[in-house]
Amino acid sequence: MVAVVVAGVLAATGGTAWAMWRLSGSGTSTTTAASTIDLKIVARPRPDTPLFPGARTDLMVTVENPNPFPVRVTLVHIGTGPITADAAHRDAGCVTTGISPTKGAKGVSWPVGAGSSERFLLRDALQMRDDSDSACQGATFSIPLTASGSSDA
């Protein structure tokens, strides 16, 4: 608000009078909200804990955040689709991988800075059942993952 003070001399009375004029205004401003970009998630089993029938393993999960703001991943869902072996092992007969998540969804609290990536350990994430095809030995498996979270700004 802008105030303007005007002083005048009243010749007739010899006194001083003060008047304050109050001014106001209005207008509009515009801004654009940023669009979000999906996170990229890649997971690999720990090299020191390979899978075999009856075994469980941890996953090392890398989360890449291409957004211009930090995010916090709060849920990782493992196995939202079929778990498959690489093409060579599939062709050799690895159809029943026997691999399944130990728990479908895992609550986490992973902070990932703006425009950066971070690695996290997801303990006891996968297991291989005894019904795994023998042709799955040495295979590399594709395991679908999804994650959710929110801005951590």
Find the DSSP H helices in 13-152.
87-91
Tens digits of per-residue pLDDT, 81-104?
A: 888 999 999 999 999 999 989 888
Return phi, psi of residue 105, to 5°.
Answer: -125, 140
Scanning the chain, the segments in alpha helix (DSSP H) are 87-91
pLDDT tens-place string over residues 33-86: 667 788 888 887 777 788 899 999 998 899 999 999 999 999 998 877 888 999
> Which residues are 128's β-sheet partners?
99
- Distance separating alpha carbons of residues 34 and 31, to the nearest angstrom: 10
> What is the 8-class DSSP label of residue 61?
E
Rg (CA), the chain: 32
Does the pTM surpass 0.75? The reply is: no
